[in-house]
Amino acid sequence: MPSELPKPKPKRSEEIEEIEEIEEIEEIESSEEKKEKNYTPTNKLGLPVAKFLPKELLQNAMLEAAGDWEKDNEADELEIKRISPRTFIAIGLLMTLMLGWVLYEALSDKAPEEQGKGVVKVPVPSGFVALEDELKEKANQFLAAENWEDVLPLIRPSAGIEEKLKIYQARLPKEIGVIQQFRPIDVIRVRGGDFLYMLGVQDQNQTVKNLYFTSEEPHLIIWETFVAYCEEPFENLSSPQNKFQSENIYRVRVKADDYYLGAYSEKDWQALSLTHPMSQRNILCYVKRDSDQGRKLKPVLYGRKDAVPLILLVKSKIENEENSSPEVLDLIGIGWHEN
């Protein structure tokens, strides 16, 4: 006989109670587990903040929870990026350069084009390369001549040119020159729309000069420009030995001056400083402001710092008159290319 009796089966009511107790425990555990899994930390304001949301979503959630008074005025406003210091400096430098260029163009000492500029470069015409050797050969012959009369076949004809050559040979005898180097030939435009060729040469003394050729065949040298020809020596303008007042044409470099003496008041006269490439002197000259020649000179010289090559008709200083100075009677040419 078995020593122990089998345990009695639980009653139906007890079984139901046990099942309900187990389900209750499982339900509690399930709720605790869900609570742990769904736990959301809070921020400083005590508002829920998700752990794994992207930064942008967290910021938007914070704004929504904080209230309208902390929100941006416009929800759809584009984000504005800050400009880096390097970009800001680069933009500033660019604007400064542009402003500087505008001011330079506005204030630079350029004579108005309608008055002529002496030398204005223009595009080199087709077939110019073939002409270059011819101009260089004429330049060599011109400088190698022993006296000024020998250059007559090579220079532009003008009224009384033969007599001018003789006078100039006596005044300043020609020196033989040998070209060591040529500069590139330029095509230039002078007053009146005339075209010329300009050839720079350097001689054995390292002196650099420009030769100007006519644009028309046979492309002759403009001698008056090369020597800055004047009807009288430049120094005669203010020489104390002048017994009589004379009027002559001078090729000179001119710029406005501010020195006034004697009867030449600044109100009525404009002071001019005259120089010549063959002289070390600086001669003071005057022109009446309200005269025709004064009105012609104003746009050519006004605001310029550099001297301008001009052809002037000038009245020389009178002997023994301390208050007398040379006076400009007319502007004949801008640049030294005209006859």
pLDDT digit string, tens, across residues 189-215: 776 667 888 888 888 888 888 899 998
Radius of gyration of the chain (CA): 48
CA distance 334 to 118: 6
Cis peptide before 218 (omega within 30 of 0): yes
Residue 133 reports pLDDT greater than 90: no
120-226, CATH topology level = Nuclear Transport Factor 2; Chain: A, (3.10.450)
Q: What integer pLDDT is reported at residue 169 of this predicted model?
A: 93
Residue for token digits 């012609």? 296
Q: Cβ-count burial of 333 within 10 angstroms (0-12 exposed, 13-18 middle, 19+ buried)?
A: buried
Q: Report the alpha-carbon distance of residue 296 to residue 292 in Å, rounded.
A: 6
Cite the residue boundaries of each domain of the chain with CATH code 2.40.50: 234-334
Residue with the two structure tokens 């090579």: 154
Residue ranges of the chain assigned to CATH 3.10.450? 120-226
Q: Burial of 314 by CB count in 10 Å (0-12 exposed, 13-18 middle, 19+ buried)?
A: buried
Does the pLDDT value for residue 265 go beyond 70? yes
d(CA 201, CA 140): 9
pLDDT bucket at 273, cuts 50 / 70 / 90: very high
pTM for the structure as a whole: 0.61
Q: Is the pLDDT of residue 47 over 90?
A: no
The confidence band for 222, taking pLDDT boundaries of 50, 70 and 90, is very high
Q: How confident is the model at residue 109 (pLDDT cuts 50, 70, 90)?
A: very low
Please name the residue ranges forming H helices in 183-260: 223-227
- Identify which has the larger pLDDT, 304 or 150: 150
Buried b (16+ CB within 10 A) or exposed e, 177-205: bebeebeebbbbbbbeeeebbbbebebee
Per-residue model confidence (pLDDT) at position 66: 47
What is the spatial distance between Cα 261 and Cα 323, in angstroms, rounded to a whole number? Answer: 7
The answer to whether residue 69 scores a pLDDT higher than 70 is no
Q: What is the pLDDT of residue 15?
A: 54
Task: State what percent of residues in the chain have pLDDT above 90.
Answer: 26
Are 329 and 308 contacting, i.e. CB atoms less than 8 angstroms apart?
Answer: no
The rounded mean pLDDT for the chain is 75
Summarize the confidence of residues 1-14 as an average pLDDT: 52
Pair type for strands 269-275 and 327-334: unpaired
Supply the pLDDT for residue 213: 93
**247-256/195-203 β-pairing:** unpaired
Among 119-123, 171-175, 200-204, 227-231, which stretch is predicted with the lowest mean pLDDT? 119-123
Model confidence at 64: pLDDT above 60: no
CATH match for 234-334 among 1.10.940, 2.40.50, 1.10.357, 1.20.1300: 2.40.50
Q: Does residue 281 carry a pLDDT above 60?
A: yes
Backbone angles phi, psi at 124, to 5 degrees: -70, 130
Residue 339, pLDDT score:
73
- Is 327 exposed, middle or buried (CB count within 10 Å of its CB: 0-12, 13-18, 19+)? buried
Tell me how far CA of residue 94 lies from CA of 81, 87, 98, 101, 291, in angstroms: 21, 11, 6, 11, 46
pLDDT of residue 215: 86
Secondary-structure breakdown of the chain: helix, strand, coil percentages, each rounded to the nearest 5: 35, 20, 40
